[in-house]
Structure 1
Amino acid sequence: MSLRTTATRLGILGAGGALAVLTVAGPAVALDDANNPPPVYKGRVTAKTGLLLRDAPTRGSQVVRSEPYGKVVTIFCKTTGDHIGHNNLWYLLTDGTWAWGAAHYIANIGQAPRWC
């Protein structure tokens, strides 16, 4: 069976007969190439009573889990959200589940994370 016949049966040919590209939604992880994965960012929790991690970068969003004081966490990226202690940056953490933590309570280890 030809590629065109297969594409027609799957319904992915456009009006002009061009093959449409299908994508899957999810976190955007761009690789420069197979040998250069995106950088890994780390931080240490500085909240004395532990850091509450949330499902959105806001104070009122649902708490997903918490991390204890001193824990080293993996940061995927940063964005802006609610102000916490004059800081409106939030970090998306990838340890276990994807959850947001206020950057005010996370000290960067190495360079600051990229923007989401």
Structure 2
Amino acid sequence: MQATSDAFVRAVTLTKRGNAAAYSGRALVKGAAAPGRHQVTVSGTGCGKWVSGTTLTVLAPAKTVKGKVIAKTGLKVRQQPTSNSAVTGFYSSGETVHLMCRKPGQPVGGNRTWYQVGMPKGWIAARYVKTAGPVPACR
């Protein structure tokens, strides 16, 4: 089986390589997994046991820049770098965030910069984040 994951997500989709009719479900890495190969559990109807011989490779997280949410009421994560975009998550005031990259978007309080975050996946307005260092531009 092949398991794919993005570096910030512990849930993955499992599909059997080369067989469209194979079982598809969710797998969770047990605990706080370090990068490397790990055994996985498949959950769903009739499942929930260790899948022998099946492993998940957790990739080392991409380099990120830490930031702190400074908005008093918290900060919404948006699907696109605009406040008109759908909300995909939320960070509380004072919460540490991991910023992947920056790009221009809709101005917020005179600031056009938005930061991409991985979990929850989306964009946050730079106007409400204090960074620990420079955030690279998105490619």
The match for 2:127 is: 104
Extract unaligned runs of 5+ from structure 1. Answer: 1-36
Aligned residues between the structures: 78
| Cα displacement (A) at 1:38 | 5.8
| Cα displacement (A) at 1:39 | 3.5
Between the two structures, name the one with larger relative contact order (CA 8 Å, sep ≥ 6): 1
CA distance in structure 1 between the partners assigned to 2:91 and 2:120 by the alignment: 12
CA distance in structure 2 between the partners assigned to 1:38 and 1:56 by the alignment: 20
1:26-74 superposed Cα distances (whole Å, 9 cap, x missing partner)? xxxxxxxxxxx86421100001000011000011000111100000000
CA distance in structure 2 between the partners assigned to 1:55 and 1:72 by the alignment: 19
Name the TM-score, length of structure 2 as normaliser: 0.53
Please identify which structure carries the higher strand content: 2
CA contact (8 A) 2:103 2:114 kept: yes
CA distance in structure 1 between the partners assigned to 2:84 and 2:117 by the alignment: 18
CA distance in structure 2 between the partners assigned to 1:97 and 1:73 by the alignment: 10
| Cα displacement (A) at 1:113 | 0.6
The match for 2:97 is: 73
| Structure 2 residue 98 is the aligned partner of structure 1 residue 52 | no
Please identify which structure carries the higher helix content: 1
| Cα displacement (A) at 1:97 | 2.6
Extract unaligned runs of 5+ from structure 2. Answer: 1-60
Q: Kindly, what percent of the aligned residue pairs are identical?
A: 35
Return the letter of the residue paired with 1:68. Answer: S
CA distance in structure 1 between the partners assigned to 2:77 and 2:125 by the alignment: 8
Name the TM-score, length of structure 1 as normaliser: 0.64
